[in-house]
Amino acid sequence: MKPTAELSHEHQAILLMIQVLEKMGDRLEAGQAVDPAHLEKAVDFIKVFADKCHHGKEEDLLFPAMEKAGIPRQDGPIGVMLHEHVAGRGYVKAMAEAIPGIKKGDKAAAGTFAENAKNYGALLTAHIGKEDHILYPMADARLTPAQQKELEACFADVEEKIVGHGKHEEYHRLLKELESAYLA
Ligand SMILES: [Fe+2]
Ligand SMILES: [Fe+2]
């Protein structure tokens, strides 16, 4: 698989988890109970699968390769993507910090989670659209087949060494579980 195709494939999983988070937020806002273990698992998915693994591949490997190929970081699309990754982390942190309050039945904490889930969803959905339609096609056009092959090997390394062997599949199983609990 081309490196950008692998990343686009991961986007589909991230978008699905965003729908789950938004649904959790809707239920919390309506005063309904949401299993805190589900909230924790969904936030963990975003922290590890989306941020550490997916954004890690972009920030440490794809974007530097694109810069080397002459696409500027400053005042260009790469800079915008990096800025959005940082903004997303703020929303995820707020969601994580709201969970202890939700466990105690705190309504304000439930509202905070819901609001940040919505903001994160809106930000990341637009971000993913820009990568799939603008940034990744740019990478496909500018990186040589040899550079793409090298990236692919480095991505496999990230999976094994940073995320952990078999973890990727575990996250896909979790996604299926939460999908059937919240989006069915
Ligand atoms: Fe990104
Ligand atoms: Fe991405």
| Ligand 2 midpoint to CA 62 (Å) | 10
State the distance from the centre of ligand 1 to the C-alpha of 93, rounded, in angstroms: 17
Q: What is the distance in A from the centroid of ligand 2 to the CA of 55? A: 6
SS3 138: helix
Amino acid 36 reads P
Nearest ligand to the CA atom of 132: 2
Nearest CA among 19, 79, 51 for reference residue 158: 51
What band does 163 get if pLDDT is binned at 50, 70 and 90?
confident
Cα(128) to ligand 1 centroid in Å equals 7
Given a cut of 90, is residue 165 above it in pLDDT?
no
CA distance 108 to 47: 23
Span 38-89, pLDDT tens digits: 999 999 999 999 999 999 999 999 999 999 999 988 888 999 999 999 999 9
- For residue 129, report the distance from its CA to the centre of ligand 2, in Å: 9
How much is the pTM? 0.96
The string of pLDDT tens digits covering residues 171-183 is 999 999 999 999 9
Could you count the other beta carbons within 10 Å of the beta carbon of residue 145?
8
Percent of the chain with pLDDT over 70: 100
Ligand 1 centroid, distance to 102 Cα (angstroms) = 29
Cβ–Cβ under 8 Å, residues 82 and 63: yes
Q: Using the Cα atoms of residue 175, residue 163, residue 63 and residue 77 in order, give the sign of their dihedral.
A: positive
Please, which residues have CB less than 5 A from ligand 2, an ion?
131
Tokens of 138: 């740019």
pLDDT tier, 161 (very low <50, low <70, confident <90, very high otherwise): confident
Which ligand is in closest contact with the Cα of 15? 2
The alpha carbon of 106 and the centre of ligand 2 are apart by a number of angstroms equal to 34
The pLDDT confidence band at residue 1, using thresholds 50, 70 and 90, is confident
- What average pLDDT does this structure show over 159-180? 91
Residues 81-122 pLDDT 10s: 999 999 999 999 999 999 999 999 999 999 999 999 999 999
Could you tell me the distance, in angstroms and rounded to a whole number, from the CA of residue 105 to the centre of ligand 2? 34
